[in-house]
Amino acid sequence: MTQTETQQQPPATVRSRVRIPLTFPDGFRVEAEVFTFHGLADGAEHLALALGDARGGTPLVRLHSECLTGDVFGSDRCDCGPQLRESVELIARAGGYLVYLRQEGRGIGLYNKLDAYALQDTGLDTYQANTALGLPEDGRDYTAAAQMLAGLGITTVTLLSNNPDKAEQLARLGIEVAERVPTGVHVSASNIHYLRAKVEHTGHSIPLARLVG
């Protein structure tokens, strides 16, 4: 299913829920209630982490695509790890959900992402590298994310994201985005060209003035 073909699917059903204490390398700690699901359109093992208390308000929600290199190994080639850390704290403070999606490399997979990195080292940007490999620039579909939110009884969210496509897809899938709140700018010498490409190519809400270099 392509992004232009997305449509509402039946809500997912909760398969299990378990509480997990999270501790980040900088010492920040929070307890999450982690949900797994049945009935996801793509059959992948996505998770929803409930953080803080969103009762009585619109939950703050981040759709975070899995990034092994950034989330686990702390790679500076992207901003995924810092975004994940920031998002958990913001959501815990406001109350809401981190929807962790198994969409490595914008949906192309880990090995292909590393192949794309090698092409980026020759001068291509992140989107050009994917295309050169015969892959979509961004293959992510957020149908499962919408199903998970619906299965949790959520129909309206405040979306924590710089990416307008996430809000557009959720709206088409029946989840109202009351507001889109950008994440911080997590820039380094190794990811500045990556971030600039996201702004110039897909309209991410990252101030270009912060990406000089």
Which residues are tagged catalytic?
138, 140
Residue 33: other Cβ atoms inside 10 A: 13
Please state the φ and ψ torsions of residue 53, each to the nearest 5 degrees.
-130, 110
